[in-house]
């Protein structure tokens, strides 16, 4: 499950433990919490999530 917001994007894999990771493709122009650009795909194992923000 993923959702785009005005200032960012979030994704979470709510699958059961032991399930396969899910691959997400975040929108362009996002950075992680340290300000590093995020490009390409993100792979999240079950019960993991990520919150990214738009680059300033």
- Find out whether 46 and 18 touch, Cβ atoms under 8 Å: yes
pLDDT bin (cut points 50, 70, 90) of residue 23 is very high
Nearest of 12, 13, 14, 42 to residue 26 by alpha carbon:
42
Token duo for residue 31: 């950075």
Q: What is the pTM of this model?
A: 0.86
Q: What is the mean pLDDT of residues 18-47?
A: 95
Place of tokens 């122009």: 29
- Strands 22-24 and 42-44, by their bridges, are antiparallel
Q: Rounded CA gap, 6 and 29, in Å?
A: 12
> Three-state DSSP class for 49?
strand
Average pLDDT, the chain: 95
DSSP 8-state assignment for residue 21: P
């Amino acid at each position: 499950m993923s959702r785009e917001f005005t200032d960012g994007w979030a994704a979470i894999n709510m699958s059961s433990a032991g399930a396969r990771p899910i691959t997400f493709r975040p929108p362009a122009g996002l950075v992680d919490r340290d300000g590093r650009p995020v490009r390409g795909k993100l792979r999240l194992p079950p019960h993991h999530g990520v919150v990214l923000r738009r680059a300033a």
